[in-house]
Protein backbone atom coordinates (compact mmCIF):
# COMPACT_ATOMS: atom_id res chain seq x y z
CA UNK A 1 0.00 0.00 0.00
CA UNK A 2 1.09 3.52 -0.70
CA UNK A 3 2.28 5.97 1.88
CA UNK A 4 -0.33 8.37 3.13
CA UNK A 5 -0.72 11.62 1.31
CA UNK A 6 -3.87 13.54 0.85
CA UNK A 7 -4.18 16.59 -1.26
CA UNK A 8 -4.72 19.53 1.03
CA UNK A 9 -3.71 23.11 1.49
CA UNK A 10 -1.70 22.05 4.50
CA UNK A 11 1.71 23.65 4.35
CA UNK A 12 4.41 22.34 6.60
CA UNK A 13 2.72 21.42 9.87
CA UNK A 14 0.99 18.09 10.39
CA UNK A 15 -1.31 19.77 12.92
CA UNK A 16 -3.09 22.02 10.40
CA UNK A 17 -5.62 19.51 9.14
CA UNK A 18 -5.85 17.22 6.15
CA UNK A 19 -3.55 14.55 7.53
CA UNK A 20 -3.42 12.49 10.70
CA UNK A 21 -0.62 13.79 12.93
CA UNK A 22 -0.45 10.36 14.54
CA UNK A 23 -0.39 8.57 11.18
CA UNK A 24 -3.09 6.13 12.31
CA UNK A 25 -6.76 5.93 11.46
CA UNK A 26 -9.41 7.42 13.73
CA UNK A 27 -10.59 4.01 14.90
CA UNK A 28 -7.16 2.85 15.96
CA UNK A 29 -6.32 6.11 17.72
CA UNK A 30 -9.58 5.97 19.68
CA UNK A 31 -8.92 2.34 20.62
CA UNK A 32 -5.60 3.48 22.11
CA UNK A 33 -7.30 6.30 24.02
CA UNK A 34 -9.92 3.87 25.33
CA UNK A 35 -7.21 1.42 26.40
CA UNK A 36 -5.41 4.21 28.26
CA UNK A 37 -8.60 5.00 30.19
CA UNK A 38 -9.08 1.30 30.88
CA UNK A 39 -5.49 1.12 32.12
CA UNK A 40 -6.38 3.83 34.65
CA UNK A 41 -9.41 1.83 35.83
CA UNK A 42 -7.43 -1.37 36.31
CA UNK A 43 -4.59 0.52 37.99
CA UNK A 44 -7.02 2.00 40.50
CA UNK A 45 -8.33 -1.46 41.34
CA UNK A 46 -4.86 -2.98 41.68
CA UNK A 47 -3.58 -0.02 43.70
CA UNK A 48 -6.62 -0.39 46.01
CA UNK A 49 -5.50 -4.00 46.51
CA UNK A 50 -1.97 -2.80 47.32
CA UNK A 51 -3.24 -0.18 49.77
CA UNK A 52 -5.44 -2.65 51.62
CA UNK A 53 -2.71 -5.23 51.74
CA UNK A 54 -0.14 -2.74 53.03
CA UNK A 55 -2.61 -1.60 55.70
CA UNK A 56 -2.73 -5.15 57.08
CA UNK A 57 1.04 -5.68 57.11
CA UNK A 58 2.22 -6.74 60.54
CA UNK A 59 -1.38 -7.18 61.71
CA UNK A 60 -1.57 -10.47 63.61
CA UNK A 61 -5.20 -10.21 64.73
CA UNK A 62 -6.60 -10.15 61.21
CA UNK A 63 -3.66 -11.10 58.96
CA UNK A 64 -3.75 -10.98 55.17
CA UNK A 65 -4.10 -14.54 53.76
CA UNK A 66 -1.19 -16.30 52.04
CA UNK A 67 -2.13 -16.68 48.34
CA UNK A 68 -0.15 -19.94 48.45
CA UNK A 69 -2.65 -21.50 50.82
CA UNK A 70 -5.78 -20.14 49.11
CA UNK A 71 -5.18 -20.74 45.40
CA UNK A 72 -3.52 -24.16 45.50
CA UNK A 73 -6.05 -26.24 43.59
CA UNK A 74 -5.48 -28.09 40.36
CA UNK A 75 -8.06 -30.14 38.40
CA UNK A 76 -8.13 -33.86 39.32
CA UNK A 77 -5.71 -33.25 42.20
CA UNK A 78 -8.05 -33.02 45.14
CA UNK A 79 -6.51 -31.63 48.35
CA UNK A 80 -2.99 -31.73 46.95
CA UNK A 81 -0.92 -28.62 47.60
CA UNK A 82 -0.21 -27.19 44.13
CA UNK A 83 0.11 -23.42 44.41
CA UNK A 84 0.55 -21.25 41.31
CA UNK A 85 0.30 -24.16 38.85
CA UNK A 86 -3.28 -23.58 37.72
CA UNK A 87 -2.91 -19.84 37.41
CA UNK A 88 0.33 -20.32 35.44
CA UNK A 89 -1.61 -22.52 33.05
CA UNK A 90 -4.16 -19.70 32.66
CA UNK A 91 -1.32 -17.26 32.00
CA UNK A 92 0.12 -19.46 29.26
CA UNK A 93 -3.32 -19.88 27.67
CA UNK A 94 -3.75 -16.11 27.52
CA UNK A 95 -0.22 -15.46 26.22
CA UNK A 96 -0.70 -18.07 23.52
CA UNK A 97 -4.06 -16.63 22.47
CA UNK A 98 -2.31 -13.27 22.20
CA UNK A 99 0.20 -14.89 19.85
CA UNK A 100 -2.53 -16.35 17.63
CA UNK A 101 -4.16 -12.89 17.57
CA UNK A 102 -0.89 -11.31 16.39
CA UNK A 103 -0.59 -14.06 13.76
CA UNK A 104 -4.13 -13.22 12.57
CA UNK A 105 -3.13 -9.55 12.21
CA UNK A 106 -0.01 -10.57 10.29
CA UNK A 107 -2.07 -12.82 7.99
CA UNK A 108 -4.41 -9.87 7.47
CA UNK A 109 -1.50 -7.80 6.21
CA UNK A 110 -0.97 -10.46 3.55
CA UNK A 111 -4.75 -10.41 2.83
CA UNK A 112 -4.90 -14.17 3.44
CA UNK A 113 -8.53 -14.69 4.43
CA UNK A 114 -8.09 -18.38 5.21
CA UNK A 115 -5.22 -17.82 7.63
CA UNK A 116 -6.91 -14.87 9.36
CA UNK A 117 -9.98 -17.05 9.92
CA UNK A 118 -7.83 -19.91 11.26
CA UNK A 119 -5.94 -17.75 13.76
CA UNK A 120 -9.05 -15.81 14.83
CA UNK A 121 -10.72 -19.15 15.56
CA UNK A 122 -7.74 -20.25 17.67
CA UNK A 123 -7.83 -16.94 19.56
CA UNK A 124 -11.53 -17.41 20.35
CA UNK A 125 -10.85 -20.95 21.61
CA UNK A 126 -8.06 -19.55 23.83
CA UNK A 127 -10.46 -16.95 25.21
CA UNK A 128 -13.08 -19.56 26.07
CA UNK A 129 -10.41 -21.79 27.63
CA UNK A 130 -9.30 -18.92 29.85
CA UNK A 131 -12.89 -18.10 30.85
CA UNK A 132 -13.48 -21.75 31.71
CA UNK A 133 -10.37 -21.77 33.90
CA UNK A 134 -11.50 -18.63 35.66
CA UNK A 135 -14.94 -20.11 36.31
CA UNK A 136 -13.22 -23.14 37.85
CA UNK A 137 -10.99 -20.90 39.98
CA UNK A 138 -14.01 -18.93 41.20
CA UNK A 139 -16.05 -22.04 41.95
CA UNK A 140 -13.19 -23.39 44.10
CA UNK A 141 -12.83 -20.09 45.94
CA UNK A 142 -16.59 -19.92 46.58
CA UNK A 143 -16.73 -23.64 47.41
CA UNK A 144 -14.05 -23.06 50.07
CA UNK A 145 -16.40 -20.57 51.70
CA UNK A 146 -15.49 -17.19 50.24
CA UNK A 147 -18.19 -14.59 49.70
CA UNK A 148 -17.98 -11.00 48.57
CA UNK A 149 -17.38 -9.91 52.16
CA UNK A 150 -16.13 -13.00 54.00
CA UNK A 151 -12.60 -14.32 53.97
CA UNK A 152 -11.70 -17.07 56.41
CA UNK A 153 -8.44 -17.98 54.70
CA UNK A 154 -6.17 -16.00 57.01
CA UNK A 155 -3.74 -18.25 58.85
CA UNK A 156 -3.28 -18.44 62.61
CA UNK A 157 0.20 -18.88 64.10
CA UNK A 158 -0.31 -22.69 63.94
CA UNK A 159 -1.56 -22.30 60.38
CA UNK A 160 1.61 -20.46 59.38
CA UNK A 161 3.73 -23.21 60.93
CA UNK A 162 1.65 -25.80 59.06
CA UNK A 163 2.09 -23.88 55.76
CA UNK A 164 5.85 -23.90 56.35
CA UNK A 165 6.01 -27.68 56.63
CA UNK A 166 3.80 -28.27 53.59
CA UNK A 167 5.69 -29.09 50.38
CA UNK A 168 4.46 -28.83 46.81
CA UNK A 169 2.54 -31.91 45.70
CA UNK A 170 1.79 -33.02 49.27
CA UNK A 171 -1.71 -33.89 50.45
CA UNK A 172 -3.12 -31.29 52.85
CA UNK A 173 -6.03 -31.14 55.24
CA UNK A 174 -7.47 -28.11 57.05
CA UNK A 175 -8.19 -28.67 60.72
CA UNK A 176 -9.55 -26.37 63.41
CA UNK A 177 -7.28 -23.60 64.58
CA UNK A 178 -5.23 -23.37 61.39
CA UNK A 179 -7.40 -20.75 59.69
CA UNK A 180 -9.28 -17.74 60.95
CA UNK A 181 -11.49 -14.96 59.65
CA UNK A 182 -9.41 -12.17 58.13
CA UNK A 183 -9.99 -8.98 56.15
CA UNK A 184 -13.11 -9.43 54.02
CA UNK A 185 -11.69 -6.98 51.52
CA UNK A 186 -9.34 -9.76 50.34
CA UNK A 187 -12.30 -11.70 48.92
CA UNK A 188 -14.04 -8.55 47.70
CA UNK A 189 -11.00 -7.37 45.75
CA UNK A 190 -10.34 -10.83 44.35
CA UNK A 191 -13.89 -11.06 43.00
CA UNK A 192 -13.98 -7.49 41.71
CA UNK A 193 -10.56 -7.42 40.04
CA UNK A 194 -10.59 -10.91 38.50
CA UNK A 195 -14.29 -10.45 37.71
CA UNK A 196 -13.69 -7.15 35.96
CA UNK A 197 -10.80 -8.70 34.06
CA UNK A 198 -12.89 -11.77 33.23
CA UNK A 199 -15.63 -9.50 31.94
CA UNK A 200 -13.03 -7.86 29.69
CA UNK A 201 -11.98 -11.28 28.42
CA UNK A 202 -15.64 -12.08 27.76
CA UNK A 203 -16.14 -8.80 25.84
CA UNK A 204 -12.95 -9.54 23.93
CA UNK A 205 -14.25 -12.97 22.93
CA UNK A 206 -17.54 -11.41 21.76
CA UNK A 207 -15.59 -8.83 19.76
CA UNK A 208 -13.40 -11.57 18.28
CA UNK A 209 -16.45 -13.64 17.32
CA UNK A 210 -17.97 -10.63 15.51
CA UNK A 211 -14.69 -10.05 13.65
CA UNK A 212 -14.39 -13.79 12.89
CA UNK A 213 -17.89 -13.87 11.35
CA UNK A 214 -17.03 -10.82 9.26
CA UNK A 215 -13.79 -12.46 8.11
CA UNK A 216 -15.76 -15.52 6.99
CA UNK A 217 -18.39 -13.36 5.30
CA UNK A 218 -15.63 -11.59 3.39
CA UNK A 219 -16.45 -8.13 4.75
CA UNK A 220 -12.80 -7.17 5.11
CA UNK A 221 -11.82 -8.85 1.86
CA UNK A 222 -14.29 -6.54 0.07
CA UNK A 223 -12.99 -3.58 2.06
CA UNK A 224 -9.48 -4.35 0.91
CA UNK A 225 -7.83 -4.45 4.32
CA UNK A 226 -8.06 -6.21 7.67
CA UNK A 227 -7.61 -3.25 9.98
CA UNK A 228 -10.59 -4.32 12.10
CA UNK A 229 -8.66 -7.46 13.07
CA UNK A 230 -5.84 -5.21 14.25
CA UNK A 231 -8.18 -3.02 16.31
CA UNK A 232 -9.80 -6.03 17.99
CA UNK A 233 -6.25 -7.32 18.46
CA UNK A 234 -5.22 -4.20 20.38
CA UNK A 235 -8.05 -4.82 22.83
CA UNK A 236 -7.17 -8.49 23.16
CA UNK A 237 -3.50 -7.77 23.88
CA UNK A 238 -4.55 -5.23 26.50
CA UNK A 239 -6.56 -7.94 28.27
CA UNK A 240 -3.40 -10.08 28.27
CA UNK A 241 -1.40 -7.11 29.57
CA UNK A 242 -3.78 -6.59 32.49
CA UNK A 243 -3.56 -10.29 33.34
CA UNK A 244 0.24 -9.98 33.62
CA UNK A 245 -0.30 -7.57 36.52
CA UNK A 246 -3.23 -9.43 38.09
CA UNK A 247 -1.01 -12.55 38.04
CA UNK A 248 1.87 -10.63 39.61
CA UNK A 249 -0.05 -8.91 42.41
CA UNK A 250 -2.69 -11.49 43.31
CA UNK A 251 -0.69 -14.67 43.00
CA UNK A 252 3.06 -14.05 42.92
CA UNK A 253 3.46 -11.40 45.58
Q: Minimum Å distance from CB 88 to another protein?
A: 6
Q: Minimum Å distance from CB 180 to another protein?
A: 18
Of 84 and 209, the one with the shorter C-beta distance to another protein is: 84
Q: Which residues of 35-47 are buried (b: 16+ CB within 10 A; e: fewer)?
A: beebeeebeebbe
Of 5 and 175, the one with the shorter C-beta distance to another protein is: 5
Q: Pick the stretch among 135-143, 155-163, 207-215, 218-226 that binds another protein (CB under 8 A).
A: 218-226
Residue 241 engages another protein in binding (rule: CB under 8 A): yes
Residue 29 engages another protein in binding (rule: CB under 8 A): yes
Q: Which residues of 54-92 are buried (b: 16+ CB within 10 A; e: fewer)?
A: eebeeeeeebbbbbebbbbbbeeeeeebbbbebbeebbe
For the chain, state the CA radius of gyration. 23
Considering only 38, 39, 125, 129, the residue that binds another protein (CB under 8 A) is: 39
Q: Pick the stretch among 69-77, 94-102, 120-128, 132-140 that binds another protein (CB under 8 A).
A: 94-102
Interactions with another protein, residue window 55-84 (CB under 8 A): 55-59, 84
Residue 20 engages another protein in binding (rule: CB under 8 A): yes
The DSSP-derived string for 121-170 is: HHHHHHHHHHHHHHHHHHHHHHHTT--SS----EE-HHHHHHHHH--TT-
The Cα 222–Cα 217 span in angstroms is: 10
The Cα 3–Cα 245 span in angstroms is: 37
Of 137 and 227, the one with the shorter C-beta distance to another protein is: 227
Considering only 95, 161, 210, 213, the residue that binds another protein (CB under 8 A) is: 95
Of 190 and 238, the one with the shorter C-beta distance to another protein is: 238
CB 116 within 8 A of CB 215: yes
In terms of DSSP H, where are the helices of the chain?
26-55, 67-70, 85-109, 113-143, 157-165, 185-217, 219-223, 227-246
Q: Minimum Å distance from CB 90 to another protein?
A: 11
Of 24 and 150, the one with the shorter C-beta distance to another protein is: 24
Interactions with another protein, residue window 147-176 (CB under 8 A): 168
Amino acid sequence: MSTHSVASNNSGSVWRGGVSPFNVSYGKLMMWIFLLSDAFTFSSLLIAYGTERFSFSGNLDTPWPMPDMVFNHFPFAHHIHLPLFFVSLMTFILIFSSVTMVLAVEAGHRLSKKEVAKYMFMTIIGGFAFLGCQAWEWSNFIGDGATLSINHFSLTAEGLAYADTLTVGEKYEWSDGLRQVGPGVFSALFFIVTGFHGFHVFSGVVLNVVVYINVLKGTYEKRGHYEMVEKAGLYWHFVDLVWVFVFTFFYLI
